[in-house]
């Protein structure tokens, strides 16, 4: 698996030690703001954030389609919108201030980042002991906006 850590060279065949180091770097006050672990088929787990507030996502790819998930946790009170900041460099925002709009329940701590990404590295799958919310439709809409497409069409496995 390949480990990508913002501002560092990619590491092919990443180890658990590499993931631990990457998570510790993200935890630093001015450290990287995202990391990705990706397999050869395009499946990945990623985390982004700053200031002890992170979001964790995973994508499972099948053919030209995919499913996209985000870790969510039980919270007290309403699960309204929240913002996690990332990116050292952004064309529209100051460093480490590029906003990701998420739900309050989707904001995680650094220990959860370490646990989820280390598990993905070891198994190539989302860790079952965490709760994952399917955000595939949101991902399709975001990708469509970025490309300027007018129509969003989910791709599903075809009949056999």
Position 149 pLDDT exceeds 80: no
pLDDT in tens, 84-108: 999 999 999 999 999 999 999 999 9
Cα(156)–Cα(67) distance, integer angstroms: 9
Q: How confident is the model at residue 52 (pLDDT cuts 50, 70, 90)?
A: very high
Cα(85)–Cα(94) distance, integer angstroms: 10
Who contacts 38 (Cβ-Cβ below 8 Å, separation ≥6)?
1, 2, 4, 44
Position 83 pLDDT exceeds 70: yes
């Amino acid at each position: 698996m390949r480990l990508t850590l913002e501002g560092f060279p990619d590491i092919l065949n990443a180890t658990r030690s590499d993931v631990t180091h990457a998570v510790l770097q993200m935890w630093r006050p001015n450290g990287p703001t995202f990391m990705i672990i990706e397999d050869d088929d395009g499946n990945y787990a990623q985390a982004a954030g700053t200031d002890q507030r992170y979001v964790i996502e995973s994508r499972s790819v099948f053919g030209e389609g995919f499913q996209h998930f985000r870790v969510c946790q039980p919270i007290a009170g309403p699960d309204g919108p929240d913002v996690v900041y990332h990116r050292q460099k952004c064309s529209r925002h100051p460093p480490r201030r590029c906003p990701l709009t998420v739900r309050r329940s989707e904001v995680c701590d650094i220990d959860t980042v370490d646990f989820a990404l280390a598990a993905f590295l070891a198994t190539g799958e989302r860790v079952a002991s965490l709760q994952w919310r399917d955000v595939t439709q949101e991902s399709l809409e975001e990708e469509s906006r970025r490309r300027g497409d007018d129509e969003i069409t989910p791709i599903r496995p075809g009949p056999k």
